[in-house]
């Protein structure tokens, strides 16, 4: 097991950066992973294929939701158990995660393979994008168990402080994806189907590296579910703690579906422009999220150990960090909005529309890190219900009504404004609950 001494001793700033910088690297890898398919598909010059990747994104988000549900919940549960020096519980939690990855991956992948047309109608594919989207989704479906496992267990190794290994495993998959994308998309003339094959093979390499680490590394984690079935309550603990983080991905998939269904009425070009237009905001949001995810094991560990003072200090300093970094990154992405759009699109009209969408989407980004901090703090101190409500508020409870209202009032332009308005409201709620959480931190860990 990696040393966790710096979780509870020494400089808090040093500990934050020690945990967060590798996590940021993971997020950068994820960003590249997320963008790679769209970049190389965009080089075909076919807006329908670019739109197909965006239309298929809700299914990929479903896969990542399962990975976050299992991996995020398992990471928190394992970090808390490590803080309490409960080795048996660490093994039980990791064994439960292994079983959940296999079961959920098979179920979701089978559903897509058995009912592809139902998913295509749900995601909003039209006659111009139907076959492209289907080709992409069927390949992703086959690789679902691998995608879920690699996402979940990359989170679990972070719980032991093995953040460098997590970066390596994610990086291996991303490099594989990037290398294979141009070969399969352009070289083999496979188009969007080649992009999906590259994605699945990238995750397969990441999963293989994780398996080697778990079998040979100095770790308490195990793939054997027998440890979990001896303490069956850990299944519910993992799922309960994972809901706040995963609900965001789940609802993001739902809102993407609703948005795509509204946008496709204006044509495939608008779907493509909106898919590209959200990339700048995604860069800022994921870096802010990385800081918060990076410190989550430390917060859970110190809360589990009853070290209230250090827990509060970690939260306070992380809050300062995410606001400063969010502001700088937002300014940089605004300045580079056209070059970012040119990575994906060639049509000048769509480029201008994407840049306009990026400008609007960046409005709430400087403060969005406070929202992510709120979700992770509430999750780490055992306030799973409040963390879940906060996640639901941004991605569903507030966003969907705001999307429908603004679209009804302002048409297509309203689709672009729904996200930044919702982001700012979510930040306000997060600030309120973060202040309330200070009182709860004085209570002993469960």
pLDDT of the residue at 80: 80
What pLDDT is attached to residue 446?
47
Residue 446, in any domain of the structure: no
Q: What is the pLDDT of residue 1?
A: 46
407 assigned to some structural domain: yes
| 213 belongs to a structural domain | yes
DSSP for 219-254, written as a single string: -S----THHHHTSTHHHHHHHHHHHHHHHHHHHHHH
State whether residue 16 is helix, strand or coil.
helix
What local confidence, expressed as pLDDT, does residue 169 receive?
79
Residue 12 structure tokens: 């808090």
Q: Which two tokens stand for residue 128?
A: 């111009």
Query: Per the domain annotation, does 416 fall within a domain?
Result: yes
Helices marked H in 45-86 — which ranges?
47-83
pLDDT at residue 71, rounded to an integer: 86
Range of 151's domain?
Answer: 5-440
Query: Using CA atoms, how far apart are residues 195 and 203, in angstroms rounded to an integer?
Result: 13
Q: Is residue 91 part of a domain?
A: yes
Alpha carbon distances (Å) from 76 to 145, 166, 317, 393: 22, 16, 20, 22
Q: Is residue 30 in some structural domain? A: yes
- Which pLDDT score, from 0 to 100, does residue 363 have? 94
Residue in the block written with tokens 């390949």: 139
Give the chain's count of helices (H) and strands (E): 20, 0
- The number of folded domains in the chain is 1
Tokens describing residue 88? 């048996």
Q: Which residues, at least 6 apart from 326, have a Cβ–Cβ distance to it below 8 Å?
A: 284, 287, 288, 365, 366, 367, 368, 369
- Is 374 within the bounds of a domain? yes
**Gap between the Cα atoms of 272 and 88, Å rounded:** 49
pLDDT at 180: 92
For residue 118, being part of any structural domain is answered with yes
pLDDT, mean of each 10-residue run, the chain (446 residues)? 63 82 73 75 79 87 88 83 78 88 94 94 88 93 93 81 73 85 87 90 90 79 78 83 74 84 88 87 89 84 80 88 95 92 85 93 94 87 79 83 94 93 93 81 54
What token pair was written down for 335? 């300045």
Q: Does pTM surpass 0.75?
A: no
Query: Is 1 in a helix, a strand, or coil?
Result: coil
Q: What is the pLDDT of residue 45?
A: 74
What's the rounded Cα separation, in Å, for the pair 141 and 147?
Answer: 10
Q: In sequence order, which ranges of 115-232 are alpha helices (DSSP H)?
A: 116-123, 130-142, 144-159, 163-182, 192-216, 226-229
CA 387 to chain centre: 16
């Amino acid at each position: 097991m990696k040393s966790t001494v710096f979780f509870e001793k020494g400089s808090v700033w040093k500990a934050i950066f020690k945990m967060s910088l590798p996590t940021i690297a993971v997020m950068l890898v994820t960003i590249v992973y997320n963008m790679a398919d769209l970049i190389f598909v965009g080089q075909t010059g076919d807006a329908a294929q670019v739109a197909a990747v965006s239309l298929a994104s809700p299914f990929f988000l479903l896969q990542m939701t399962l990975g976050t549900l299992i991996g995020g919940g398992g990471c928190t549960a394992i970090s808390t158990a490590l803080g309490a020096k409960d080795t048996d519980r660490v093994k039980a939690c990791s064994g439960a995660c292994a079983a959940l990855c296999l079961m959920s991956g098979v179920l979701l992948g089978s559903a897509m393979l058995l009912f592809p047309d139902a998913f295509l109608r749900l995601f909003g594919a039209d006659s111009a994008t139907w076959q492209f989207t289907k080709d992409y989704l069927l390949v992703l479906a086959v690789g679902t168990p691998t995608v879920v496992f690699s996402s979940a267990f990359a989170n679990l190794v972070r719980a032991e402080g093995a953040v460098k290994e997590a970066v390596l495993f994610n990086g291996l998959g991303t490099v594989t994806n990037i290398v294979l994308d141009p070969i399969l998309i352009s070289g083999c003339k496979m188009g969007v189907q080649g992009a999906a094959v590259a994605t699945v093979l990238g995750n397969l390499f990441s999963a293989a590296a994780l398996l080697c680490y778990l079998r040979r590394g100095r770790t308490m984690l195990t793939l054997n579910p027998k440890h979990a079935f001896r303490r069956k309550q850990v299944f519910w603990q993992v799922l309960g703690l994972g809901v706040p983080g995963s609900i965001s991905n789940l609802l993001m998939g739902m809102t993407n579906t609703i948005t795509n269904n509204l946008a496709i009425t204006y044509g495939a070009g608008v779907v493509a422009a909106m898919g590209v237009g959200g990339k700048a905001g995604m860069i800022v949001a994921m870096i802010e999220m990385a800081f918060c995810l990076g410190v989550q094991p430390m917060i859970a560990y110190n809360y589990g150990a009853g070290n209230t003072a250090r827990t509060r200090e970690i939260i306070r300093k992380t809050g300062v960090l995410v606001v400063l970094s969010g502001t700088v990154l937002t300014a940089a992405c605004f300045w580079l909005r056209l070059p970012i759009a040119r990575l994906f699109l060639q049509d000048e009209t769509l480029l201008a529309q994407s840049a306009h969408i990026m400008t609007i989407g960046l409005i709430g980004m400087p403060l969005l890190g406070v929202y992510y901090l709120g979700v992770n703090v509430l999750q780490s101190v055992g306030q799973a219900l409040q963390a879940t409500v906060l996640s639901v508020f941004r991605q569903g409870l507030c966003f969907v009504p705001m999307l429908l209202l603004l679209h009804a009032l302002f048409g297509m332009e309203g689709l672009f404004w729904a996200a930044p308005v919702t982001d700012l409201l979510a930040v306000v709620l997060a600030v309120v609950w973060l202040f309330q959480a200070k009182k709860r931190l004085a209570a002993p860990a469960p």
